[in-house]
Amino acid sequence: MKLLFDEYCKSASKLVTKYYSTSFYAGVTCLGKELRDDVHNIYGFVRLADEIVDSFHNFNKKKLLSEFKKETKSSIEQGISLNPILNSFQNTVNKYKIDRKLIDQFLHSMEMDLNPIKYTNEKYEEYILGSAEVVGLMCLKIFVNGSESNYERLKPSAMTLGSAFQKINFLRDIKDDINNLGRVYFPNIEKNHFNDQNKKDIEIEIEKEFNAALKGIKMLPNSSKYGVFLSYSYYEKLLQKIKRKSAEDLLKERVRISNFLKLIILKKIYLKKIFKLF
């Protein structure tokens, strides 16, 4: 009967992905079938933690995150949790022997979101490492099917891609981060002093990381290459749209990619996958 419970838990993680991120869900559908459940399991875990610090404003976030952290550790050690998302996550962690330090680093970044922080360069890098780069490394473990040699070879690219994605998220969400959450992640930028030069400098950083990460994407196994490339393509289009906006525009509206454009990108990547053009 544990098998039945595990299947239910996997479906719960998959539903979280589908409900919260249609873009990421589409990317997972371009992965090999044998990888999809485990990537959904990673996303479900990350999303739950993120929801605690970003959405549960009328609750004791610190206590909720502390309890979530303890249950995560317990579920990995015992190989089970009655929380469906954590049960799926621990299955993936134990299956691929994902380093607990990556999980601890991620949860540390979530803890950083509990209180206002004036971000220095050091704190900025620390937050991105935990909130994005280590998540990329968790997924990389799955993409290379646990191969240590391939993991070490592709590790820098996975971290760079995670960093680029997160910086785009910061630009996209800067309006809500400032107005609703009281956060400015970019170092040495005050709430009311985000300008076009700041924006341009950040975009240059992202483009450098994108160029470096693309080399690593091309070296991934075919079972994961196209799914990651789809996510890369979504974010690349989002970055191009952000670049056409001013800093003032970003402080007024959240930039989005239309579902129609997402569908076009998906079809292009699907054709590349069929004809092995990437």
* Nearest-5° Cα angle at 69, 107 to 124: 15
Distance of CA 188 to the CA centre of its chain: 24
How much is the average pLDDT of 203-214? 97
The Cα-based distances of 220 to 40, 154, 162, 249, 274 in angstroms read 19, 8, 15, 37, 16
Confidence check: pLDDT of 21 > 90: yes
Nearest C-alpha neighbor of 105 from the set 23, 162, 185: 162
CA angle 75, 79, 82 (to 5 degrees): 55
Judge whether residue 10 has pLDDT over 80.
yes
Q: What is the mean pLDDT of residues 95-112?
A: 98
Print the domain residue range for 206.
2-275
135-180 per-position pLDDT tens digit: 999 999 999 998 999 999 999 999 999 999 999 999 999 999 999 9
pLDDT number for residue 276: 77
Rounded to whole angstroms, the Cα distance separating 191 from 180 reads 12
Q: Is pLDDT above 90 for 1?
A: no
Residue 190 half-sphere exposure toward CB, CA atoms < 13 A: 2
* Euclidean distance between CA atoms 256 and 262, whole angstroms: 10
pLDDT tens per residue, range 168-189: 999 999 999 999 999 999 998 8
Contact 171, 199 (CB under 8 A): yes
8 A C-beta contact, residue 142 and residue 92:
yes
CB-based contact 228:35 (threshold 8 Å): no
With 90 as the cut, is the pLDDT of residue 278 above it? no
- How many domains, in total, are found in the chain? 1
Q: Are 250 and 198 in contact (CB under 8 A)?
A: no
Burial letters 221-234, b for 16+ CB under 10 A, else e: eebbbbbbbbbbbb
- Determine how many CB atoms are found less than 10 A away from the CB of residue 146: 13
Question: Which CATH number belongs to the domain containing residue 138 in this structure?
Answer: 1.10.600.10
The predicted-structure confidence for 39-55, as pLDDT tens digits, reads as follows 999 999 999 999 999 99
Q: pTM of this prediction?
A: 0.95
